[in-house]
Amino acid sequence: MSWTDERVELLKKLWSDGLSASQIAAELGGITRNAVIGKVHRLGLSGRAKSASSAAPRQRKARAGGTHMLRVGRAAVRGNTALAHAYEVEVEATPALIENIIPIGQRRTILELNEQTCRWPIGDPGSTEFFFCGGNTISGLPYCAFHSRVAYQPASDRRRDRRPVR
């Protein structure tokens, strides 16, 4: 369907009367609401008459009894809580990390690292006393058992536990 001069004039009249794009599309027939919006935009039509319902602000309904609403706080637990206390969950205690002292003979420089040595850095890289752990790695991981527990913590443990690690 093409825009004829008569249809464009009718569009301008209906637009200035305050009809919505959907109403104009239904009135013209054979075009969509988006086609009407596009044509209005290309014609540069902007000023519209306000419809009677949108011209006057709506009156708020008065509350019965003049009481104020009380806001109720949300529960801390989300989701279905019907069975929340039905089961006791046993949480496996993770062993506490102890201070890991690396023996001098185990310490490695970057040139001494290989697939079987732990690549956990110790100290400040700019310092002369900087070294890598050098312990035996867990297969498939770059760190020893101790440093793997430090590096691969569950997200909840990372947020809760903010201990400084060597």
Q: How confident is the model at residue 138 (pLDDT cuts 50, 70, 90)?
A: confident
Q: What is the pLDDT of residues 44-74, one digit of tens each?
A: 887 665 555 555 666 777 666 656 666 666 6
In a domain, residue 132? The reply is: yes
In a domain, residue 10? The reply is: yes
Joined together, the tokens standing for residue 55 give 């011209």
Residue where a domain stops, chosen among 37, 52, 67: 52
Q: Where are the beta strands (DSSP E) in 9-104?
A: none
Global confidence as pTM: 0.37
In a domain, residue 20? The reply is: yes
23 exposed, middle or buried (CB, 10 Å; 0-12, 13-18, 19+)?
middle
In a domain, residue 18? The reply is: yes
Cβ–Cβ under 8 Å, residues 117 and 132: yes
Specify the DSSP class assigned to residue 76. S
Q: How confident is the model at residue 147 (pLDDT cuts 50, 70, 90)?
A: confident
In a domain, residue 92? The reply is: no
Residue 28 scores a pLDDT above 70: yes
Segment 14-41 shows an average pLDDT of 91
**pLDDT on residue 61:** 72
Q: Containing domain of residue 34, as a range? A: 5-52
> Coil, helix or strand for 117?
strand
Number of domains in the chain: 2
In a domain, residue 75? The reply is: no
In a domain, residue 72? The reply is: no
Cβ–Cβ under 8 Å, residues 24 and 9: no
Residue where a domain stops, chosen among 16, 36, 52: 52
